[in-house]
Amino acid sequence: MSSNSIRFAAYYGAFYFTLGAFLPFFPEWLAGRGMEGTWIGYIVAAAMVGRVLVSPLGARWADLSRRKRDPILILSLGSTALFLLHGPTSSPWVLLVLSFLCGAAFYGQMPLIDAFAMGESRRGKITFGPVRAIGSALFIVSNVGAGLAFERFGSESILVWVVIGAMLVSLSAVFLPDGEDPNRRIAPPLETDGLGALLRGPFGIALAASVFVQGAHGFYYYFSAVAWGAQGHGGVVIGLLIASGVVIEIVFLTFSGRGWLGRMSPAMLMGIGAGGSVLRWGLLALSPPLWGLFILQNLHALTYAATYIGFLRYASLHVPDRYAATAQSINSALSGGLVMALAAAASGYLYTRVGSLGFAAMMLPAIAGLGFAVLLSRQRALPRADELD
């Protein structure tokens, strides 16, 4: 690995080390602070709202900055301070506000670092796939480690873990390359000839493909553990199933820039992601035996990783640098925020009524994503991002 690759890998590792504890165990910490179920739902939802409403503004700020590291560093320092402020309070209203701000500051870093890293990859300064795979690997380590800490030391250990992780994110952000380009054109206001034109063109099609395929993970993310537990599988087995999906994701990310995978077009990557999504959710709805579940978990390499890389590759190739972070943030806000929230709500309704058959409903957004990927593949050749800047 080059020096720059190590710097980005350290950042991704620290970020997903923090996320691996925060994402699954934050509700447990809230419960330990005396929050009832309704308040836990509100507080967790507030983070998602912050991610959807505020993080695109942070991305726009990043696009206006000459030094791409600076907004990432400031957001990482802000999220560290916000996590620390959780310590002395048990007020649900204060925690609601802190959660909203954390959703903006912590999750808001994701599209910024992805846009920055893909730009550096396009210029040959880093190799994106292996760098990003470090993040997925540390997510698994944190998942297991934070779970053990929770069992041994109780819910307060989760906040300690998250605060330490956030500090590591800030430290690693200090050592990122500054990303300064004095000759770069600064983005103009959002006029019809700017991002709006991109959204109405092929970029909007690529965005729709990504959003629908990633949003189709809603039932899996929120109810797969519940569904598999109802089928008689224990917690250790369910943990291994989820981990196996992340492991195959790591393998795909590591090799995504090499050989035939490296030559795949963004439309093709998102198309195979959508096709794998239709197959995965359709077969999971049939409640296959355990060996079948492990086989189907391999499709996570397509449904998540191929779709993720496909959109990043498209944006890196065809979105001007002056809109790169904003484009990634819109995708994150829609696929990981708004659409995922809608999918989660629909999944709760479905699971209550049809159980594991609810997986089948996720085929609908996957089919829509496949349609948009096919439509994207039929668009005429577009100029590269460096030609647009």
User: Which CA distances in Å does 236 have to 16, 54, 139, 197?
Assistant: 22, 37, 17, 49
**Span 294-299, average pLDDT:** 95
Q: Which of 338, 357, 346 is nearest to 287 (CA)?
A: 357
Q: Where does 193-389 sit in CATH, by number?
A: 1.20.1250.20
* Greatest mean pLDDT among 11-25, 222-236, 344-358: 11-25
pLDDT of residue 388: 46
The whole-number average pLDDT for the span 369-382 is 85
pLDDT in tens, 90-124: 899 999 999 999 988 998 898 889 888 888 887 88
Q: What percent of the chain has pLDDT over 70?
A: 92
What CA–CA distance (Å, rounded) separates 78 from 73? Answer: 9
Q: Which of 17-21, 158-162, 189-193, 344-348 has the lowest mean pLDDT?
A: 189-193
* CA atoms within 13 Å, Cβ hemisphere of 191: 4
Q: pLDDT-derived band of residue 381, with 50, 70 and 90 as boundaries?
A: low
Arithmetic mean of pLDDT over the chain: 85
> Per-residue pLDDT averaged across 55-67, rounded?
78
Query: What integer pLDDT is reported at residue 360 of this predicted model?
Result: 93
More confident residue, 272 or 228: 272
- Residue 192 confidence (pLDDT): 41
Q: Provide the percentage of residues in the chain whose pLDDT is more than 90.
A: 40
Q: What are 124-154's pLDDT values in tens digits?
A: 888 888 898 999 899 888 888 888 888 888 8
Which fold is adopted by the domain 1-176?
A: Growth Hormone; Chain: A; (1.20.1250)
User: Can you state the percent helix, strand and coil of the chain, rounding each to 5?
Assistant: 80, 0, 20
Residues of the chain with CATH 1.20.1250.20: 1-176, 193-389
Give CA torsion, residues 34, 40, 42, 47, to 10 deg.
110
The arithmetic mean of pLDDT across residues 257-267, rounded, is 86
Residue 195: pLDDT band with limits 50, 70, 90: low
Task: State the first-to-last Cα distance of the chain, in angstroms, to the nearest integer.
Answer: 29
Question: Which pLDDT value is given to residue 288?
Answer: 94
User: What is the pLDDT confidence band of residue 76, given thresholds at 50, 70 and 90?
Assistant: very high
CB 92 within 8 A of CB 43: yes
Residues belonging to the chain: 389
